[in-house]
């Protein structure tokens, strides 16, 4: 779907969940990183290619899809100690502003809701790419977005003290989203 406004042409693009991943990385035992990912992401990009600052994006991530490669750890992360998926089944992001920072790069600021807490987060975005046509005639664009958050800001406070005095789980979490969109 494409809409024309006084500002320009805004096209609607839907996230392709089969080609979109949200990943995270957090420090474990102060010496290594643990990575995980989520799937089944949904959402919409309203893209004004002539003026990206007039664009917006919203996305939802089902928390129960978490995968770190270890079933026991995944179960702990889904529990009330961390994400509490029974009470808070999804993460949500709604952009509130887009700013061009360099050619092909944007800063997308918005409200990230996780674990029942909403905070303002800014993602550094590469893209979106120029549209291409896939083998089935659909128009597609893609982007990659990164941000760092403090998990404690979202009420994710569980931790354990190590014998050496450090903490089992780091507070800073790096987020990477690689998203592909299909024109509506």
Domain spanning 10-183: which CATH class is it, in words? mainly beta
Q: Give the model's pLDDT for residue 161.
A: 60
Mean pLDDT of the chain: 88
Q: How confident is the model at residue 33 (pLDDT cuts 50, 70, 90)?
A: confident
Q: Is the pLDDT of residue 160 over 60?
A: no
Mean pLDDT of 120-148: 95
Q: Is the pLDDT of residue 4 over 80?
A: no
Q: Give the model's pLDDT for residue 19.
A: 96
DSSP assignment of 72-99, as one string? HHHHHHHSTTTT-TTT--EEEEEEEEEE
Question: In terms of C-beta density within 10 A (0-12 exposed, 13-18 middle, 19 or more buried), how is residue 14 classed?
Answer: middle
pTM, to two decimals: 0.88
User: Residue ranges of the domains in the chain?
Assistant: 10-183
Mean pLDDT of 87-116: 95
At 39-88, the pLDDT tens digits run 999 999 999 988 889 999 999 999 999 999 989 989 988 988 888 999 99
| 128: preceding bond cis by omega (within 30 degrees) | yes
Q: Is the pLDDT of residue 150 over 90?
A: no
């Amino acid at each position: 779907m494409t809409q024309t406004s006084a500002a320009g042409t805004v096209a609607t693009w839907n996230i392709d969940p089969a080609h979109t991943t949200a990943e995270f990385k957090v420090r474990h035992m102060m010496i290594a990183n643990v990575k995980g990912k989520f799937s089944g992401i949904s959402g919409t990009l309203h893209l004004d290619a002539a003026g990206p600052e007039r664009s917006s994006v919203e996305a939802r991530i089902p928390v129960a899809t978490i995968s770190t490669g270890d079933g026991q750890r995944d179960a702990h992360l889904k529990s009330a100690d961390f994400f509490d998926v029974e009470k808070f089944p999804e993460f949500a992001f709604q952009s509130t502003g887009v700013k061009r920072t360099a050619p092909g790069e944007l800063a997308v600021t918005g409200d990230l809701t996780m674990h029942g807490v909403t905070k303002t987060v800014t993602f550094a975005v590469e893209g979106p790419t120029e549209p291409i046509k896939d083998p089935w005639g659909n128009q597609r664009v893609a982007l990659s977005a990164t941000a760092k958050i403090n998990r404690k800001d979202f009420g994710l406070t569980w931790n354990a003290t190590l014998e050496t005095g450090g903490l089992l789980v780091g507070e800073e979490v790096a987020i990477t989203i690689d998203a592909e969109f299909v024109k509506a």
